[in-house]
Amino acid sequence: MTYDNENLKVVGTRPVRPDGADKVTGRANFGADFSMPQQLIGKVLRSPHPHARIVSIDTSKAEALPGVKAVMVGEDMIAMAHEMSQSGESAIDVHDLSLNVLARGKVLYDGHAVAAVAATSAVIADDALDLIDVTYDVLPHVSDVDEAMKPDAPVLHEDMFTAGMDEKPATASNIASRMEMALGDVEEGFKKADIVIERSYKTKAVHQGYIEPHAVVANFAEDGTATVWCSSQGHFAIRDLCAKLLGMDSSAIRVTPAEIGGGFGGKTTVYLEPLAIALSKKAGRPVKMTMTRAEVFRATGPTPATSLDVKIGVTNDGQIVAAEADFRFNAGAFKGSPVGAACMSAFTPYTLENVKVVGYDVVTNACKSGAYRAPGAPNGAFAVESALDELAHMLNMDPLDFRHQNGAEAGTKAVYGATFREIGCKDVLVAAKNHPHYKSNLGPNQGRGVASGFWFNIGGQSNAAVNVHEDGTVTVVEGNPDIGGTRAAMAMMAAEVLGIPFEKVQVVVADTASIGHTDVTGGSRVTFATGMAVTQAAEDVVRQLKERAAATMELDPEEVVWQDGVAHPTKGEAKPLSLADIAGDAARTGGIIVGRSSINAKGAGPSFATHICDVEVDPETGRIEILRYTAVQDVGKAIHPSYVEGQMQGGAVQGIGWALNEEYVYNEDGILENPGFLDYRMPVASDLPMIDTVLVEVANPSHPFGVRGVGEAPLVPPLAAVVNAIQDATGIRMTELPVSPVKMLEALEANQKQAAE
Amino acid sequence: MRFEVADTLEGAASLLAGEQGVAHVLAGGTDLLVQLRAGMVKPDLVVDIKHIEATRTISESDGAYTIGAAVAGAEMGEHRTLASDWPGVTEGAELIGSTQVQGRASMGGNLCNASPAADSVPALIAAGATCTVVGPGGTRDVAVADIPTGPGSNSLGQGEFVATINLPKKAANSSDAYLRMIPRTEMDIAIVGAAANVTLGDDGTIMAAKIVLGAVAPTAIEVPEAGAALVGTKADDDALAAVAAACEAAAKPISDKRGSADYRKKVSGVLAKRAAKIAFDRASGNA
Ligand SMILES: Cc1cc2nc3c(=O)[nH]c(=O)nc-3n(C[C@H](O)[C@H](O)[C@H](O)COP(=O)(O)OP(=O)(O)OC[C@H]3O[C@@H](n4cnc5c(N)ncnc54)[C@H](O)[C@@H]3O)c2cc1C
């Protein structure tokens, strides 16, 4: 069933989210807020080397320390074969995951876990770590992706032979895989071009920067089951990965989700959870583990550093005739960067006859990269949208007109094989062009840039139950941790279907034993897929309500219509019955009413975004200020417009940070130099203007309310939007991120020197 | 670790002097608590000086100010006349951290923590400020410039601490300014800081000037050549260019993850000339 835009009563309004007040007053319970009686504190010993063989680990002194109840090393984990397990938007190799959780044989990056302890206090646990003697045989390391691809680079994994080659390579290398996708014939396409440019770009690894560090409490009980409390983007994924790594049954682990203080893709996998369960099993007591901020930076999953080449050919009238890219992604210590998504998405806002993209997934001695909001897409878009900006200048065309002329639309076939149905790519470009921001004037040293971006969005498995209570109120039970206000969105959709006020609906995010498997909060899927499940579960309730009312009215269910929360007879004299009337009588008419839905949602609608950014560059210090910023996006249907706007603003801000100051600084010794928020510079509130938003609503026909995902697309355009604005302000094309003041001033001076010569 | 709260200057001094191990004064704690949690300092004794009236008050007498060493930056900004008499000193202290940090962070802590990048120090030196040091041997006045001796070290003796920071009576037709370079707008460490203090003669030309740089040497440094370049001018472009050149030459920065030495040298010149211009405009009544 689809719901008509005109008649919506709740969807599209802006009620206050139910979890909001507790979160802003500090009362909400996040991962580290949970404690158990008798709990031990667990800590992890981490490698001080980027690459070394572990010769020996002596834990005897640590074990002898009073208060230490358990110590474990890599050999205490079970050996895993290579096997891909689905987690979030990407698949994880459980063999690699196990080695990342606790190293065996070699350490592969600064911060790699080598041992774990549980003790009666944090101080004793820290002392115990100091008493563990690890002998390392330090090996040569490599941190840069292009260096790691060279034949003489130190090899991380002796058993890694590049996948995706016509012939299996004879020697092991750091190139985990090569992939290629194409449409048409680029060679032929370039022959038709009047202008061809070829450019190279680089980005650094950047962290999601969620404010809440990873935290877990695990209690392994005498009956061999474990209970886990932690914050994550998907407690079912945590349960299943722990079960795999520890050789336990999924039914033997129950994970209760805490409130989550940000994830952005980074909390779709496990780090501490398997260790906490294993330590609890060993010690016979609950174990609590919390990462420090430095551990979060050193040993969780930032998005890869990348090295990107792009070649684009256009005709003089602005038609793109061929486009080619070569993307090299630094996966960190283990394979599995999102280079595939980069290849699939970078050119996708455009209708292209001839396009070819090659991607390499490369391992280096850096922490294993993880998912970060639209994984891979911002990197690819940075390269492509920078090159397109340059071409628009060369063609003397407005950059939005140039994009519009080549823009994707219904019927466009993307390089990854999809053919689009209704999409809002061009509507978004038009809305950007018409926005007052785009027409406003700029002062000296100021510039304006635009860029576009695409994200797939996904569906996936979701479960929902809707319990109708005797007093006519309703509880929705679902399985997705609420990150962006999804409790509110779920309640709104349920209220809309049931025809009752928003306030009558509560939403509970249930533990893994209390609702069916639900995929992670990721891929911008929750409001789409879980929203679809909730809608269907509410419709299941309506069906039952009509049945009960019909029985009371002595009619057939088809002779009853449901409107605004009331069952109306279409014939006869029976009095209409409200949801509360029917619920109050439910015990007598067949028992309490529960609606259910279990789906694998198909038909996720892609989202397109275009951003406009104004900057001012201080010509003497290289400091860059964001003056004005507008994010325009096709959001399908905004269930709760404020939270859609929030997603767009947040994505834009993260992208601005990525463009200007954020970077992992690995020094020559392969050590991370800035594992803290002082020197890992995310934007602070006072750095930014209000981020203006424009919601373009092109409904997704596959969703009852027209929802597309909205959470990831807004991180795709900002990197290029900022850099294109810098180009407009200074005439300088910056090709390496971040554009720190130091880098900007160097470029300004080099430019001046060149001009003088 | 022992924690004591002192309610008199003498009480604090005797607690500190009596400790054989490592003793630390606690003012706002915005450096000390961070260092404690990171395991960088392991004091045997911490003495909170915030309950001593003298360290918590700002008083003015005949145009001279006495500012308690533990007065928070936000309190300086809210003072009725301090901010207009000493805009540069006040903005240096008020730049520290963020709104939250401002409620605690003090100039005493900023000075004694002795970071080369301490934001309140350059303007204090440019102002010719002194501090009153209390210790087991009594009380002495020391130039602010003589407190920091290098990154993380200061010249205070065993049992000594700073009770107040003292600003002289402001000269007629004078003013000051402080600027710093950080990539963001707050919550950062200065890559370069520059303070200027200028005094004008009756004809509006600069009669005396001091330029002090932060974060480009082990301690904040005065650049006399830069001050001299301003004297006799109206902070015109040539004079400002000379200020910048003098500062670039005097800066002896290191390269680190926060900025290259080359960058710091150039930007020290840029900020110094800008601060000089602001101080000049303020002194001329044009700001
Ligand atoms: C988030 C954050 C942001 C920051 N941003 C900045 C910034 O922008 N600029 C900047 O310069 N600093 C910054 N800092 C550092 C710090 O806030 C300042 O140095 C502040 O002025 C310290 O003052 P306090 O009163 O908190 O000192 P405390 O932490 O109480 O003391 C600092 C040190 O000085 C000693 N000490 C304190 N008072 C005295 C005294 N009267 N006599 C002798 N010794 C004393 C203490 O024993 C300790 O060793 C920041 C810190 C944080 C946490």
What CATH code is carried by the domain that includes residue A592? 3.30.365.10
Query: Is a pLDDT exceeding 80 seen at residue A384?
Result: yes
Q: Is the dihedral of CA A229, A232, A237, A241 positive or negative?
A: negative
> What residues does A136 pair with on adjacent strands?
A54
- Nearest residue of A to residue B273 by CA position? A620
CB–CB contact B263 A742 (8 Å): yes
Helix (H, G, I), strand (E, B) or coil at B175: strand
CB–CB contact B185 A623 (8 Å): no
Residues of B in contact with A674 (CB under 8 A): 257
Nearest to A661 among B183, B259, B271 (CB): B183
Domains held by chain A: number:
3
Co-location of A382 and A471 in the same domain: no
Considering only CA atoms, which of A681, A684, A660 is closest in space to residue A740? Answer: A660
Nearest residue (CA) to ligand 1, atom 8: B96
Mean of pLDDT values over A340-344? 98
Report the distance separating Cα A543 and Cα A44, nearest Å: 53
Of the pLDDT bands very low, low, confident and very high (cuts 50, 70, 90), residue A581 is very high
Whether the CB-CB separation of A468 and A579 falls below 8 Å is answered with yes
Mean of pLDDT values over B217-228? 98
Whether the CB of A127 is below 8 Å from some CB of chain B: the reply is no
CATH architecture entry for B174-284: 2-Layer Sandwich (3.30)
A344 within domain boundaries? yes
A706 within domain boundaries? yes
Co-location of A665 and A539 in the same domain: no
Q: What integer pLDDT is reported at residue A24 of this predicted model? A: 94
Residue A346 token pair: 């970078």
Co-location of A496 and A525 in the same domain: yes
Query: Is a pLDDT exceeding 90 seen at residue A757?
Result: no
Q: Over the range B57-89, which residues count as b (16 or more CB within 10 Å of their CB) and which as e?
A: ebebeeeebbbbbbbbbbbbeebeebbebbbbb
Phi, psi angles (nearest 5°) of residue A219 = -130, 110
Q: Any idea what the CATH number is for the domain that residue A38 is in?
A: 3.90.1170.50
A61 within domain boundaries? yes
- Chain A nearest-CA distance from B270, in A, is 7
Whether the CB-CB separation of A375 and A341 falls below 8 Å is answered with yes
Other Cβ atoms less than 10 A from the Cβ of A580: the count is 18
Report the distance separating Cα A206 and Cα A212, nearest Å: 17
Q: Is B106's C-beta closer than 6 angstroms to any atom of ligand 1?
A: yes
Of the pLDDT bands very low, low, confident and very high (cuts 50, 70, 90), residue A751 is very high
Co-location of A469 and A439 in the same domain: no
Nearest residue (CA) to ligand 1, atom 5: B97
Whether the CB-CB separation of A626 and A656 falls below 8 Å is answered with yes
Co-location of A614 and A514 in the same domain: no
Co-location of A577 and A617 in the same domain: no
A557 within domain boundaries? yes
Which residues have C-beta within 8 Å of that of residue A318, sequence separation ≥ 6? A395, A397, A401, A402, A405, A406
A712, A736, A746, A757: which one is catalytic? A712
Report the distance separating Cα B190 and Cα B119, nearest Å: 7
Considering only CA atoms, which of A23, A230, A219, A250 is closest in space to residue A118? Answer: A219
Q: What does the angle CA A623 – CA A625 – CA A627 come to, to the nearest 5 degrees?
A: 160
Mean of pLDDT values over B220-228? 98
Domain boundary among A579, A601, A623: A601
Mean of pLDDT values over A161-177? 95
Note if A736 is an active site residue.
no
- Chain A nearest-CA distance from B130, in A, is 31
Co-location of A226 and A374 in the same domain: no
Helix (H, G, I), strand (E, B) or coil at A160: coil
Report which ligand 1 atom has the smallest distance to the Cα of B118: 11
Q: Quickly list DSSP for A360-388.
A: EEEE-SSPPP---SSTTHHHHHHHHHHHH
Residues of B in contact with A683 (CB under 8 A): 184
Q: What integer pLDDT is reported at residue B286 of this predicted model? A: 85
Task: Give B2-167's CATH code, choosing from 3.30.465.10, 1.10.8.60, 1.10.1060.10, 3.40.50.300.
Answer: 3.30.465.10
Report the distance separating Cα A111 and Cα A113, nearest Å: 6
- Residue A126's domain comprises 34-139+211-262+267-299
Nearest residue (CA) to ligand 1, atom 31: B109
Report the distance separating Cα B77 and Cα B91, nearest Å: 8
Nearest to A741 among B183, B185, B271 (CB): B183
Report the distance separating Cα A617 and Cα A659, nearest Å: 14
Helix (H, G, I), strand (E, B) or coil at B196: strand
Whether the CB of A738 is below 8 Å from some CB of chain B: the reply is no
Whether the CB-CB separation of A115 and A134 falls below 8 Å is answered with yes
- Indicate left, alpha or beta for A264 from its phi (over 0: left) and psi (-120 to 50: alpha): left
Best probe of the A interface among B37, B184, B262, by most A CBs < 10 A, is B184
A156 within domain boundaries? no
Q: What integer pLDDT is reported at residue A599 of this predicted model? A: 97
pLDDT tens-digit map of A644-671: 999 999 999 999 999 999 999 999 999 9
A168 within domain boundaries? no
Query: Is a pLDDT exceeding 90 seen at residue A636?
Result: yes
What is the complex's ipTM, to 2 decimals?
A: 0.94
Whether the CB of A740 is below 8 Å from some CB of chain B: the reply is yes
- Nearest residue of B to residue A664 by CA position? B257
Q: Is B110's C-beta closer than 6 angstroms to any atom of ligand 1?
A: yes
Helix (H, G, I), strand (E, B) or coil at A118: strand
Q: What is the mean pLDDT of chain A?
A: 97
Mean of pLDDT values over A449-462? 97
Of the pLDDT bands very low, low, confident and very high (cuts 50, 70, 90), residue A116 is very high
CB–CB contact B184 A684 (8 Å): yes
Co-location of A88 and A231 in the same domain: yes
Co-location of A315 and A383 in the same domain: yes
Report the distance separating Cα B248 and Cα A404, nearest Å: 49
Q: What integer pLDDT is reported at residue A87 of this predicted model? A: 63
Considering only CA atoms, which of A384, A268, A246 is closest in space to residue A320? Answer: A384
Q: How far is the CA of A206 from the centre of ligand 1 (A)?
A: 29
Report the distance separating Cα B254 and Cα B250, nearest Å: 13
Q: Average the pLDDT over each of A85-94, A340-349, B118-127, B130-139 and give the range with the smallest value.
A: A85-94
Whether the CB of A750 is below 8 Å from some CB of chain B: the reply is no
Q: What integer pLDDT is reported at residue A89 of this predicted model? A: 62
Q: What integer pLDDT is reported at residue A353 of this predicted model? A: 97
Q: How far is the CA of B144 from the centre of ligand 1 (A)?
A: 15
Q: What integer pLDDT is reported at residue A424 of this predicted model? A: 96
Of the pLDDT bands very low, low, confident and very high (cuts 50, 70, 90), residue B258 is confident
CB–CB contact A679 B258 (8 Å): yes
CB–CB contact A678 B189 (8 Å): yes
Per the listing, tokens 């070394």 go with: A52
Report the distance separating Cα B102 and Cα B110, nearest Å: 12
Nearest to B270 among A621, A678, A679 (CB): A621
pLDDT tens-digit map of A44-97: 999 999 999 999 999 999 999 999 999 999 999 999 999 998 765 678 999 999
Co-location of A478 and A394 in the same domain: no
Co-location of A590 and A722 in the same domain: no
pLDDT tens-digit map of A137-168: 999 999 999 999 999 999 999 999 999 999 99
Residues of A in contact with B261 (CB under 8 A): none
Which residues have C-beta within 8 Å of that of residue A266, sequence separation ≥ 6? A207, A208, A210, A300, A301, A302, A370, A371, A372
Co-location of A617 and A728 in the same domain: yes
Per the listing, tokens 């303007």 go with: B123
Q: What integer pLDDT is reported at residue B257 of this predicted model? A: 85
Mean of pLDDT values over A95-117? 98
A547 within domain boundaries? yes
Domain locations in chain B as residue ranges: 2-167, 174-284
CB–CB contact B98 A684 (8 Å): yes
DSSP H helices in A615-677: 641-660
A188 within domain boundaries? no
For a mutational test of ligand 1's pocket, the pick from B24, B26, B30, i.e. the residue with the most ligand atoms closer than 8 A to its C-beta, is B30
Of the pLDDT bands very low, low, confident and very high (cuts 50, 70, 90), residue A371 is very high
Report the distance separating Cα B197 and Cα B178, nearest Å: 9
Nearest to A674 among B185, B257, B263 (CB): B257
**Full-model pTM:** 0.96
Whether the CB of A290 is below 8 Å from some CB of chain B: the reply is no
Q: Is the dihedral of CA A245, A246, A249, A253 positive or negative?
A: negative
Whether the CB-CB separation of B248 and B266 falls below 8 Å is answered with yes
Domain boundary among A275, A299, A323: A299
Query: Is a pLDDT exceeding 90 seen at residue A5?
Result: no
Q: What integer pLDDT is reported at residue A88 of this predicted model? A: 58
Q: What is the mean pLDDT of chain B?
A: 96
Nearest to B185 among A620, A674, A684 (CB): A684
Domain boundary among A276, A299, A322: A299
